[in-house]
Amino acid sequence: MKKLSPTVVLMLSLVATVGAQDLKSSWERIQAFFLSNMHDSVVVHVPEFLEELRRRDLKPQMSVGYFHYAVSLAHLGKDAESDSAFSQAKSLALVAGDNARVAEIAAKQVQLYVGLATRQPSPPPRAVHYYNRALEVLGPSGDLKTKAMLHYQVGILRRSTNDIPGAILDLESSLAAADLLDGEQEVKQAAISALTELYLGAGMNPQAEALAKHSGSSRARIEYTIKLAESAEARGNLVEADRLLSTIQTAILAEGDENRTVEFAKKRYSLHERSGGLIRGYDTLKVLLVQAHAASPSVRFHISRLATMLAIRKGDLEEAVRIVSLMRPLATPSLDPLLNQTEGDIAYLQGDNASAIGSYRRALLSASAFEESERSSIMNNLGLALTRNGEHVSALQMFDDLYARSAAHAIFRIQADLNAGIVLMKTDSTAAALQRFFRARELAKAEKNTALQVMASLRLAESYRRSGLETSAASLFEEVRREQEQLSDPFNRIQVLQALAAQAQTGGDNWSAVSMLRQAYSLAERARATGFIAPIAIDLADNYFLADSLGEASRFYDTALLFYKGTEDLRTQVELRYKKAQCSLGLSNYGEARSEANRAMELLRATGDAEGDLAGLGYATLAFIEFTEGKNRQDIRMLLKAEEHITNAVQIFSASIAGSLLRSEQESQSLRNVNAFRLSVDIAATLYDATSDPRYLELAFNTSEQSRAESFVSDVGTQLVSKLQDPSLRDLAAVTGRLREWGSGETALAVDLTPTSGTRGIKAKPVPDESVARNYERIVQQLSAQNNKASQLVSVNTLTLSSVRELLGENELMLNYYVSLDKIYLFVVSRAGRDMRTISWKPENLASTVEEYRAAIHNLSSDAYLRHARILFDSLLAPVRNQMEGKTLLIVPSGRLNNLPFGGLHDGQQFLVESNSLAVLPNASTLQFVQGGKRLPASPSVLAIGNPANPRVTRLPGSELEVRTIQGIHARSVVYMGQEASETNSRKHMGAFDIVHFACHGLFNYDYPYLSSLALSPDGGNDGFLEVHEIYNLNLTRTGLVILSACETGLAKIRKNDDVIGLVRGFFYAGVPSLAASLWKVDDFATATLMSHYHALLRRGESKSAALQKAQQQLLRSEPTRHPYYWAAFVLYGNGG
């Protein structure tokens, strides 16, 4: 039973003294109703009871009766009647001279209204009504503490309904009441905090500042400053927010509130993280650690953990390891999971995948140590560590677990799908990846989350492009461009615009990239998002530079420098100085260019990093300045100075192939003029032209080979390592993958879509641990020492000019072309001698002429191709025509020349194929792998594969005639056609034949050449696409010749001065010394005819190159096929013997 209030007890005693049994019974019944909250029954019975008391003139008892009557009326919402009853109760008490009773009734009236205001559910307007009734009861002379509390509650409620003026008035009243009390009450501090926030939100900054001064307490100043900082943060001014917080750091620590201290440290960490490094958060946390020396081990642990995370962000893993060693003694069992998580992060970034996996798994053993967002992030990074460790199945399982446990959190499900899709793309499971990206996109649509939908669409578009579905990719990118305009959050829109700009830049559309980046830049400026402005400025400058708008590029580099000046990020400052030097050089401001480059080098020397990759880039920049001015002034001293600088650069880059993986694609584009190897070729070639010193010829040739090899290793070779089915290469694959991620800026593969908590997220600055690079070099040296052919993919091991000459046959002449920025160098090499010719032809002009020639060849009703064929012959071959006579030509193309059919060039009298047999090599160093290739036996065994049944490509009925004809030529032949022409049969049997002939579609993937493929028949074991990376895993050392009578099989990816990256290189690696392939889609009948002649000539004992030459000549002499479209597409690669 409820305990009776004093008023009720008094009432009972008074009734008892009256002795009226009937009144006593009535009162007991009313009391029972009242205590059971049956207020409607109370209201029914009390009036009759009061009337009886009045009749008997029992006024004191009537006062108590009216009180109970008033309470019940109030519970029933009858406010007017309740007020009247309360007034009657107090009036009767006054008449009786019982002032204490009057005060007691008023206090209980206030208590009643407060109870009604807080009763659930009570909407804000109703609660405000009851609080105001309580304030009316208290009146001007009421209890100040109660009035302060009531006004505060009313103010908070008014704020919740956006009645800001009313909220301010009530909070001011609360503060006024609290000010009249002694001490610093809790309600006073709460009112100060809420009122400060409202003042600032309403733009009433003078009132907020006056409030802080008026209160005169450190707590008030802290609250005021925190609200100012939050306001600055909301406006995007993170630097100002951090500055404000720095002014109260000492005061926060003096409070001794450990939870508040940790939250304060987290906030300053968060501001540093979101500012992109513009706030010196690491120094701040070190000071905070010193100031918190007297704090508990728990506080010092948490601040140290934040300091570790900042050290990770700036790439100082050595410092992170040092801090963690200090954290271990501070860790209690409850903090061990946080320590495990931090250790996992460090191991993850060091490339120690096994340790990272162990640490993350130990962290996840605790069910209560982490918030859901942190736990999800750990699961995500564990999945990525498993991926890097080659445990793809476990990684995908982890992402599936993350997806399954996040049913109530769509954002984590989207994150899980996006990252699982990325892993699937890395393992070339493109179809499965597309499903994940599509599901993420659909979930984002269902959640009406435009930001996440756009992000998922971006991934999906990239996957379509990688799959060769260009139309679908372009459509989706266009959809993303439209959807980004609907994004309300400027920060989301900025990031999407950055991604779209990157896509445009990758496609070479720099002006579109500029347009999107200008939008992003304006958004960042309006939002005062300082963490975005500097990176966008750099991207803008890079694209202006690539579009040859050097003045604008320099202006935005200056803008970026203003943001990074004074920060810890010296690396970015150095890179920006180099880029400004390039702009000045392009504007012929040589002195200014030198000044910028030298300032950058001074920064490096100050940091003790005078021999790393940035130093190499600095020497290359200085070399380019001296070279450019020296050429223009014809000053040999400047050219020699350029040689000195470039020698230093090449030595640095040659010392560590790992460095080539660390130079990102974006950096190599925006600093394209200072590619050290290419520039060394330019300088040496220019000195050779000026001095005729053979030393410079040797240097130019040797460095050109290094340049090709370095490009292949950094762009493709290291990607293929992870796809080789060789257990001994597992460590190498892990290390190269790590280096590539650092170089491409993909340090955090995770897609982080969760709100910033200030406590989590691996987003390290891409500065690698030197031990990873050293480990890479060690593994590569071991592979080379073991003669493991995988070393070809990851090391720059090229032949010198003298070595190439020794490998050439007496009747062979090598024409080695090297396309530079504004000219082509032709190295003419034979066993008897060597020379170099300079062809003044810019790459863009060369590319357009080659493409015009190829287009003209496809016009069968015209001989317009002859004009282009003559122009190309006169430029590329006429300078060495006398040396070519009677020779077998070994042509090493470069750049766009990889797609040029040299045999179809014309001197005005005849095609080159009419005078010379020829073979093509990806680079001169390939000679060491193919020159010893075996000649075909008198009766070679042949596997002919034609007209596969692949539902994703059209059938080639003409190819059946082709393979049947081949079968009739060779006695020892096996033919697979239709469903038998499967990928499985091909991979299983082709290594047992001397000649393997494919008559099928060849699919070339321009963006991902190692996914180029031959389209064969699918079956239960394989998808029907024999891709480049799969060819690298074949053993074809017995096979002497592979013929790709397919569409565009010879095409190569052309980037910078690249080596051939397409199908051709894959077969060389697999052990095939010779390969014949086509450069464009060829007529079925003409192809069958040419191949019939080719195989017949091979059967008669002709060499591979001579047989192809004679077969092409036969078509040339036949009227229906004399047009070069029919015969010039086919090229022999490798050994021509």
Question: 1125 and 1065, same structural domain?
Answer: yes
Question: 942 and 819, same structural domain?
Answer: no
Give the Cα separation of 551 and 1088 in Å (integer): 57
758 within some domain: no
Read off the pLDDT band of 387 (50, 70, 90).
confident
Q: What is the pLDDT of residues 729-754, one digit of tens each?
A: 555 555 555 544 544 444 333 333 33
Question: 331 and 379, same structural domain?
Answer: yes
C-beta separation of 468 from 1001 below 8 A: no
Give the Cα separation of 1023 and 982 in Å (integer): 9
**Domain assignment of residue 299, given as a range:** 232-469
pLDDT of residue 480 exceeding 90: no
- Which of 541-545, 669-673, 987-991 shows the lowest per-residue confidence on average (mean pLDDT)? 669-673
pLDDT of residue 986 exceeding 60: yes
pLDDT of residue 988 exceeding 50: yes
Instruction: Give the residue with greater pLDDT, 279 vs 39.
Output: 39
For 180-207, what is the mean pLDDT?
76
Instruction: Give the residue with greater pLDDT, 13 vs 35.
Output: 35
394 within some domain: yes
Task: Give DSSP secondary structure letters for 95-115.
Answer: HTT-HHHHHHHHHHHHHHHHH
Give the Cα separation of 36 and 34 in Å (integer): 5
pLDDT of residue 755 exceeding 90: no
Instruction: Give the residue with greater pLDDT, 411 vs 122.
Output: 411
Q: What is the pLDDT of residue 100?
A: 80
Q: Report the phi/psi class of residue 315: left, alpha or beta, with left for phi > 0 and alpha for psi in -120 to 50.
A: left
Residue 364: name the closest of 329, 330, 398, 394 by CA.
398
For 1098-1118, what is the mean pLDDT?
96
Residues paired with residue 1076 on neighbouring β-strands, in sequence order:
1043, 1132
Q: What is the pLDDT of residues 571-592, one digit of tens each?
A: 889 999 999 999 999 999 999 9
For 658-685, what is the mean pLDDT?
63
Give whole-number Cα distances, 340 to 15, 360, 537, 614, 757, in Å: 73, 6, 38, 34, 19
Give the Cα separation of 723 and 1030 in Å (integer): 8
Q: What is the pLDDT of residue 462?
A: 80
Task: Give DSSP secondary structure letters for 703-772.
Answer: HHHHHHHHHHIIIIIHHHHTTS--GGGHHHHHHHHHHHHHHHT-S--S---SPP-SS------S---HHH
pLDDT of residue 783 exceeding 70: no
Burial (CB count <10 Å: 0-12, 13-18, 19+), residue 551: exposed
Question: 81 and 69, same structural domain?
Answer: yes
Residue 629: name the closest of 616, 642, 618 by CA.
642
Q: What is the pLDDT of residue 1053?
A: 44
C-beta separation of 272 from 233 below 8 A: no
87 within some domain: yes
Calculate the CA dihedral of residues 249, 253, 258, 261 and round it to 10 degrees: 10
C-beta separation of 1064 from 1022 below 8 A: no
Place of tokens 């340090």: 747
Give whole-number Cα distances, 394 to 385, 400, 533, 741, in Å: 10, 10, 39, 21
Q: What is the pLDDT of residue 238?
A: 78
Question: 852 and 824, same structural domain?
Answer: yes
Bridge-based pairing state of the strands 1025-1027 and 812-819:
unpaired
> What tokens does 753 get?
């879509």
1098 within some domain: yes
- Look at the chain and report how many structural domains it folds into: 6
- Element (DSSP H or E) covering residue 980: none
Give the Cα separation of 10 and 16 in Å (integer): 10
Q: What is the pLDDT of residue 707?
A: 82
Q: What CATH number has the domain bearing residue 1066?
A: 3.40.50.1460
Q: What is the pLDDT of residue 2?
A: 37
C-beta separation of 923 from 1135 below 8 A: no
Place of tokens 């940035």: 614
**Reported pTM:** 0.63
Give the Cα separation of 749 and 1047 in Å (integer): 36
Q: What is the pLDDT of residue 782?
A: 59
Read off the pLDDT band of 318 (50, 70, 90).
confident
3-state secondary structure of 590: helix
C-beta separation of 1050 from 1066 below 8 A: no
pLDDT of residue 808 exceeding 90: yes
C-beta separation of 731 from 782 below 8 A: no
Peptide bond before residue 1018 is cis, with ω within 30 degrees of 0: no
Burial (CB count <10 Å: 0-12, 13-18, 19+), residue 901: buried
Residue 166: name the closest of 136, 132, 190 by CA.
132
pLDDT of residue 326 exceeding 70: yes
679 within some domain: yes
Q: What is the pLDDT of residue 389?
A: 80
- Render the burial of 912-928: b for 16+ CB within 10 Å, e for the rest: bbebbbbbbbbbbbbbe
Residue 192: name the closest of 175, 176, 180, 179 by CA.
175
Question: 491 and 447, same structural domain?
Answer: no
Beta-sheet strand order (sheet of 1001-1003): 1001-1003, 1013-1015, 1025-1027
Which of 892, 927, 962 is the last residue before a domain boundary? 927
Give the Cα separation of 444 and 487 in Å (integer): 13
pLDDT of residue 860 exceeding 70: yes
Q: What CATH number has the domain bearing residue 923?
A: 3.30.420
Q: What is the pLDDT of residue 796?
A: 52
Give the Cα separation of 462 and 433 in Å (integer): 11
pLDDT of residue 912 exceeding 70: yes
Rg of the chain on CA atoms, in Å: 41
Which of 530, 551, 568 is the last residue before a domain boundary? 568
Q: What is the pLDDT of residues 928-956, one digit of tens each?
A: 878 766 689 989 999 999 999 988 888 88
Question: 649 and 584, same structural domain?
Answer: yes
Read off the pLDDT band of 837 (50, 70, 90).
very high
Which of 927, 953, 977 is the last residue before a domain boundary? 927
Residues 6+ apart with CB under 8 A from 308: 320, 323, 324, 327, 342, 346
For 169-173, what is the mean pLDDT?
85
Give the Cα separation of 529 and 951 in Å (integer): 51
Q: What is the pLDDT of residue 729?
A: 54
Give the Cα separation of 346 and 340 in Å (integer): 10
pLDDT of residue 757 exceeding 70: no
Residue ranges of alpha helices (H) inside 877-924 are 881-884, 912-915
Q: What is the pLDDT of residue 396?
A: 93
Q: What is the pLDDT of residues 1035-1076, one digit of tens each?
A: 898 999 999 986 655 454 444 434 345 678 889 888 899 999
Give whole-number Cα distances, 746 to 738, 750, 756, 767, in Å: 9, 9, 19, 11
pLDDT of residue 175 exceeding 60: yes
Residue 105: name the closest of 70, 58, 146, 153 by CA.
70
647 within some domain: yes
Q: What is the pLDDT of residue 1062?
A: 66
What mean pLDDT, rounded, does the chain reach? 81
pLDDT of residue 665 exceeding 70: no
608 within some domain: yes
pLDDT of residue 762 exceeding 80: no
For 784-789, what is the mean pLDDT?
56
84 within some domain: yes
Residue 688: name the closest of 837, 858, 865 by CA.
837
Give the Cα separation of 1032 and 772 in Å (integer): 26
Task: Please name the amino acid found at residue 801.
Answer: L
Q: What is the pLDDT of residue 984?
A: 94
Q: What is the pLDDT of residue 742?
A: 44
Question: 986 and 875, same structural domain?
Answer: no
pLDDT of residue 669 exceeding 90: no
Give the Cα separation of 816 and 822 in Å (integer): 17
Give whole-number Cα distances, 164 to 128, 148, 201, 205, 1059, in Å: 14, 18, 9, 15, 69
Q: What CATH number has the domain bearing residue 531?
A: 1.25.40.10
- Render the burial of 103-126: b for 16+ CB within 10 Å, e for the rest: ebbbebbbebbbebbeeeeeebee
For 699-722, what is the mean pLDDT?
68
For 487-509, what is the mean pLDDT?
81
- Which of 300-304, 626-630, 721-725, 1086-1090 shows the lowest per-residue confidence on average (mean pLDDT)? 721-725
> What tokens does 577 get?
């100085």
Question: 526 and 651, same structural domain?
Answer: no
Question: 389 and 246, same structural domain?
Answer: yes
Question: 833 and 729, same structural domain?
Answer: no
Question: 1062 and 939, same structural domain?
Answer: yes
Read off the pLDDT band of 347 (50, 70, 90).
confident
Instruction: Give the residue with greater pLDDT, 816 vs 505.
Output: 816
